[in-house]
Structure 1
Amino acid sequence: MFSEVQDVFKNYEEAVSEKDVEKFLAGYAPNVHLFDCWGKWEHNGIGEWKTAVTEWFDGVEEEGVGLRAELMEEVVMENEGLAHVHGAIKFAGIDEEGKEFRSVTNRFTFLLEKVDGSWRITHEHSSLPISTEDGKAIFG
């Protein structure tokens, strides 16, 4: 149960670090809708999102690296049943000694709603800016 919006994001960061799919998905509503900037245009529902997250965590597991997600510069606007959060998330690969060896920063927007008394992400949009010069993504 996530009684505060920030509880969802603390869980998000912990679940990424632990590569725990079920813990990660606990912060999402069953009917979640996502616009992703990696691989697939969108994901509809927790089942599609679970497949993508499982592939992500399993892919990193094969590389033998750890993960870190850090939410930065988040701006939270909320009322009793609806919250809007935007900012950036830095995802980093961590070596066996705990040192960061690669990273990427995505922009994000989350819409959260109270679902059965707990905050859950119902919509997520991640993006990277695109260069007008060469049409390639600009990685932060």
Structure 2
Amino acid sequence: MSVGFHEVQEVLENYKSAVYEKDVERYVSSYASDLHIYDCWNDWECVGIAQWRKFTKEWFHGLDEEGALVKVDFDEVVIEENSNLAFVRCNVTFAAYNESGEKLRQMTERFTFVLRKENESWNIIHQHSSLPISMETGKGIFNRK
């Protein structure tokens, strides 16, 4: 799938809609083939588009089995860019709903994206998600206060 993202904001909008529609190929179209991701889930890191596609298929398959739709919202978005590199930091809220519209769960993570422009299109080359950690329990804090 060849998709061009001429504005950084288009990459974020594609992320949101592809997750909601559970469209693996559209979702990974936002990422460069040589991406490097530090994620909060399971693996310490993900290197390369093939590994990210596999992770995404598993994620979306799990949502299908559950009958869940996930709405993504970006909050406190800061974008800095020059001609060929961009930096985005934001809070990302993932809210899962069942088919009747009932909210099943919600969590918010901190995200940083680094994007590179190639052939006039922006693609994510690095993504880092994080959570603050409770000093009392050692567990991640998934909801903003």
TM-score range, shorter chain: over 0.9
Q: Report the Cα distance in structure 2 between the residues aligned to 1:45 and 1:115, rounded to whole angstroms.
A: 17
RMSD (Å) for aligned C-alpha atoms: 0.8
Match of 2:141 in 1: 138
Unaligned runs of 5+ in 1: none
- Residue 88 (structure 2) pairs with residue 48 (structure 1): no
Deviations 1:23-44 (A, max 9, x none): 0001000000000001111000
Match of 1:90 in 2: 93
- Residue 20 (structure 2) pairs with residue 17 (structure 1): yes
Unaligned runs of 5+ in 2: none
Match of 1:79 in 2: 82
TM-score, normalized by length of structure 2?
0.94
Q: Report the Cα distance in structure 1 between the residues aligned to 2:117 and 2:26, rounded to whole angstroms.
A: 18
Q: Report the Cα distance in structure 1 between the residues aligned to 2:48 and 2:93, rounded to whole angstroms.
A: 24
Aligned length: 140
Larger CA deviation: 95-104 vs 14-23: 95-104
- 8 Å CA contact retained: 1:29, 1:115: no
Q: CA deviation at 1:61?
A: 0.5
Which consecutive segments of 4 or more residues in structure 1 shift more than 2 A? Answer: 97-101
- Residue 23 (structure 2) pairs with residue 27 (structure 1): no
